[in-house]
């Protein structure tokens, strides 16, 4: 039996929750998958974390594979690569927010813009115009959800976390608010 067939059989047994097959699979492919992760993240510790995530995924999701779909070493490599890329995306820059430059002047990355948020600037320009009137007609929390989505660029889960509200509520607020804004703006046409 060649290497690929053995890995495929081990993956099939792991889907049936065979712990010994899972251990054998780990011994068989962990080195290869660690190399894939290392190529992407360029850090051994981060690559080991990715490898752990991959094996948790294998244990939890191999049973959920579509009927007729065989899980292979190629699938494992793709999962590892994707998890590695996700790991890089989650990393935060490791630069201090404040530092002293070569001239001795204190510098800072995050300086608050005194001109206000984009929506505040737009509403100030719009004054008592249509958009300002329509946005002001929204209820406070749904209004905030829409503004966070469209002017701060937050996703629904990020808005739900920031506002400490259920995700479904935030989605409903956003949709209803957009429908109200549309109706309000069409009334002016």
Q: Which fold has domain 118-187?
A: Arc Repressor Mutant, subunit A (1.10.10)
Report the distance separating Cα 183 and Cα 17, nearest Å.
54
pLDDT, residue 47, reads: 92
pLDDT band at 66 (very low <50, low <70, confident <90, very high): very low
3-state DSSP assignment of residue 106: strand
Q: Which fold has domain 3-90?
A: Rna Polymerase Sigma Factor; Chain: A (1.10.1740)
Q: What is the pLDDT of residues 86-124, one digit of tens each?
A: 888 887 666 666 767 788 887 776 656 666 666 666 655
Q: Which residues contact 170 (CB under 8 A, 6 or more apart)?
A: 145, 156, 159, 160, 163
Mean local confidence (pLDDT), 30-38: 93
Tell me the whole-structure pTM to 2 decimals: 0.47
Q: Taking the domains of the chain in order of start, what are their residue ranges?
A: 3-90, 118-187
Can you state the angle between helices 156-163 and 167-187, rounded to 10 degrees?
A: 110
Q: Which residues contact 47 (CB under 8 A, 6 or more apart)?
A: 34, 37, 38, 40, 41, 84
Which sign, positive or negative, has the C-alpha torsion 133, 137, 138, 141?
A: positive
Q: What is the pLDDT of residues 158-184, one digit of tens each?
A: 989 989 999 999 999 989 988 888 888
């Amino acid at each position: 039996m060649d290497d690929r067939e053995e890995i495929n059989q081990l993956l099939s047994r792991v889907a049936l929750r065979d712990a010994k097959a899972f251990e054998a699979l780990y011994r068989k492919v962990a080195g290869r998958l660690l190399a894939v992760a290392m190529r992407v993240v360029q850090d051994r510790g981060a690559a080991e974390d990715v490898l752990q995530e991959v094996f948790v995924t294998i244990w939890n999701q191999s049973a959920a594979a579509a009927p007729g779909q065989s899980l292979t070493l190629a699938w494992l490599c793709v999962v590892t690569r994707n998890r590695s890329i996700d790991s890089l995306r989650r990393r935060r820059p490791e630069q201090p927010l404040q530092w002293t430059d070569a001239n001795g002047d204190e510098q800072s990355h995050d300086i608050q813009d005194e001109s206000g948020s984009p929506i505040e600037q737009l509403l100030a320009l719009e004054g008592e115009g249509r958009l300002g009137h329509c946005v002001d007609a929204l209820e406070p929390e749904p209004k905030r959800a829409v503004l966070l989505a469209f002017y701060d660029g937050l996703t629904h889960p990020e808005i739900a976390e920031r506002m400490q509200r259920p995700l479904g509520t935030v989605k409903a607020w956003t949709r209803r608010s957009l429908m109200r804004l549309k109706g309000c703006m069409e009334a002016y046409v």
